[in-house]
Amino acid sequence: MTRTLIIDDIPNNEFINILASENNPGFTPGGLYFGQSLIGDCVMVEAETQPALSETGRIFKNRDPDSFLVGVGIWVRASGNTPGKMSFETNEKRKATPTISIDANQVTNTTTLAVAASQGDTSITVDSPVGISDGDYLGLFSLTTNRFYTGFLTGAPSGAILSLDNPLDSDFAVGDTVGTGIINMAVDGSTTTQVFSLRGADPGIQAIADISRMMISCITETAINLTDFGDIAALVKGVLIRRADGTYQNLFNFKDNISMKKEMFDWDNLDDTNPGQGLHGFSGRLTFEKLGSVIRVGPDEDIEVLIQDDLTVDGTIQRFNIKFQGNIV
């Protein structure tokens, strides 16, 4: 990814340090390459402390692992009688990390793995199948390896054995957490707020995730318009999306279709008369990176979706889902 930075009004004969480090979000330590072009009267110099005025311009890397300045940095010095200006591009070299695509889910039953399961298995044995049903969303979490699995049940439990739609992609041990529940958020939250989340069952894994975008979809029985939510009347309290880390940060509140369209570059009205769609509803994509950042979810932190109204009124919203996508840090 390329970023263009402009450093303007550098005071005459004063120094400014431009640093890409762990304390500068959005940059990878040691992963920036600079190609500078002078616009004004200034020079770059190589040093780990403020350089002498006579030094010439070069790029440097601070490799001190004990310093908070670990990363790539530049000293910029204005020279002459006027303030200087400099622009340059930074090419960020990103590290490949595991991607995630997880539905906002509400866990209704939590149990543990009764028999160790291996990569490739398409069924697992749990301690208690009580309350688990055909079609349930399932999350399996290893507290020792921080690996996780998500999928759906392909039938009712056979005793304590659960059949899965996707094969396991890693090994899991006896005692690992199993959570089952729902991802369809077309529920009644008018009396008791219904909470759906990214992480799922507790205790879950402690992996850190950067969420870069949110996919939203809704299937309705009838055609929609922008002043409705789906095909029902606009909501009173709205669908609230928030970050939870012991405190809360409210991010978005959607009360009608137009409020979603305002936040999303990609929001489409689906119509069953369109031969390429064949159904009513909407779909949308909200990319957090377009806002200049991602949503980081650390250990014991989560992203929550609160349903605060009755989305079952009239019975015309068939499905309402939100999927969070990003990568494990």
What is the rounded CA–CA span in Å between residue 41 and residue 77? Answer: 9
Mean pLDDT of 57-68: 34
pLDDT level of residue 36 (50, 70, 90 thresholds): very low
Which pLDDT value is given to residue 38? 32
Between 285 and 56, the higher pLDDT residue: 285
What is the rounded CA–CA span in Å between residue 15 and residue 53? Answer: 9
Q: Is 88 within 8 Å of 37 (Cβ atoms)?
A: yes
Which pLDDT value is given to residue 204? 74
What is the rounded CA–CA span in Å between residue 136 and residue 209? Answer: 24
Between 85 and 264, the higher pLDDT residue: 264
Element at 260 (helix H, strand E): helix 257-263
- For 310-327, what is each residue's pLDDT tens digit? 999 999 999 999 999 999
DSSP 126-184: BS--TT--TT-EEEEE-TTT--EEEEEBSSS-BTTEEEBSS--SS-B-TT-EEEEEE--
Residue 328 backbone dihedrals phi, psi, to 5 degrees:
-80, 130
Domain map (residue ranges) of the chain:
2-92, 97-183, 185-329
Mean pLDDT of 108-113: 96
Between 279 and 65, the higher pLDDT residue: 279
State the chain's mean pLDDT as an integer. 78
pTM, two decimals, is: 0.72
CA torsion 122→100→182→105, rounded to 10°? 150
Residue 313 backbone dihedrals phi, psi, to 5 degrees:
-60, 135
Q: Is 145 within 8 Å of 98 (Cβ atoms)?
A: no
Residue 4 has pLDDT above 80, yes or no: no
Give the contacts of 129 (CB within 8 A, at least 6 positions apart): 111, 157, 159, 160, 162
Residue 5 has pLDDT above 70, yes or no: no
What is the CATH T-level fold of the domain 97-183, as seen in this structure?
A: Elongation Factor Tu (Ef-tu); domain 3 (2.40.30)
Between 266 and 116, the higher pLDDT residue: 116
The rounded percent of the chain whose pLDDT value lies above 70 is: 71
What is the rounded CA–CA span in Å between residue 205 and residue 207? Answer: 6
Mean pLDDT of 14-30: 37
Mean pLDDT of 223-242: 97
Which pLDDT value is given to residue 290? 80
- For 142-185, what is each residue's pLDDT tens digit? 988 889 999 999 999 999 999 999 999 999 999 999 999 999 99
pLDDT level of residue 98 (50, 70, 90 thresholds): confident
Tokens of 152: 């759906």
- For 111-121, what is each residue's pLDDT tens digit? 999 999 999 99
